[in-house]
Amino acid sequence: MPITLPPLTRRDWIKRGTAAAFGTFASQTPALEIPEQVWVLFSDTHIAADETLNARGVCMAENLRRCANQVLKIGQKPFGLIVNGDCAYLEGISEDYVTFLRCMQPLREQSIQIHCTLGNHDHRTNFLNAVIGPPPPNAERLMNVPDKHVATVTSAQVNWILLDSLDLVNKTPGMLGQPQLTWIERELRNSPDKPTFIVAHHNPMQASMDEKKKGSCLQDSDALFDLLAAYPKVQGFIYGHTHTWLKSKHEKTGLPLINLPPIAYTFNPQSPSGWVIVRIDADRAEFELRALNPAHEQHGQKHVIKFV
């Protein structure tokens, strides 16, 4: 099943009384050029139960609120928003997700579809219980892949296949596992024939990495990318985890890779934090960095993937 935050009802919206403070898309002055279809990508929010908590000199909840407010000012409602893992601070405690949902509330009040993947600092059960509530007693959740939460999100322009690379909570390496790889192949075979992006939290393993880096990334990368290479409609792999904004290529297959910036802290103080707006038309996808520091030299930088 997908991890999709349900939009708030109008009753919820009025009861909370916060929507007016953020405005609506119709009332905002367009700040960005809006093409045929717009998506928004977040990653590595690292929200703690205490929304005043700072890590590495950053208040993560404040950063997420700022990013959410910026999304509401782009002049057009995004087709969807994907949060690519590490929604929670360290161990995915239940209270982390309560704060995460509170920070995302202004977006939900505008009925934006929000889809989440899981990273190594998340906890499946705690997140699902916070988002949709626990299952009935003695009942199991229906899942497309046992103990993994995956989804295919499709639109007129693009498919997004959302993966679950969480292996062990608060342990760095990621793993898909054979059941998920089997599901991916089935989705690629059966999904609409249109440009497709694969989204997972962990970065792929590359032959040129040293052993330390290989130990912290997606451990079954080779099996995944061998599979992806067999489907020409796959146009790129989107990941987070490294807290770095970067476009590169998979060394073996040549598949384009987009590394999303963190909304929380960066590991390199020179790197930007922020979010990404994706503009998609018939022949390409443009990924633009919206840095939280608009004076950063990479703010507004665009990475383009031309469809082949």
Tell me the C-alpha distance between 14 and 19, whole Å.
Answer: 8
CB-based contact 114:108 (threshold 8 Å): yes
User: For residue range 90-113, what is the model confidence (pLDDT) as tens digits?
Assistant: 999 999 999 999 999 999 999 999
Tell me the C-alpha distance between 54 and 42, whole Å.
Answer: 19
Tell me the C-alpha distance between 170 and 205, whole Å.
Answer: 19
pTM higher than 0.75, yes or no?
yes
DSSP E strand boundaries for the chain: 3-5, 37-42, 54-55, 58-59, 80-84, 114-117, 151-154, 159-162, 196-199, 234-239, 246-249, 256-259, 274-280, 284-291, 302-306
CA distances to 195, 284, 305, 306 from 232, rounded to whole Å, are 9, 14, 14, 13
Taking the C-alpha atoms of 241, 242, 245 and 249 in order, what is their torsion angle to the nearest 10 degrees?
-90
User: For residue range 248-283, what is the model confidence (pLDDT) as tens digits?
Assistant: 999 999 999 999 999 999 999 999 999 999 999 999
User: For residue range 182-225, what is the model confidence (pLDDT) as tens digits?
Assistant: 999 999 999 999 999 999 999 999 999 999 999 999 999 999 99
Class of domain 3-306: alpha beta
Of residues 109, 115, 101, the one with CA closest to residue 41: 115
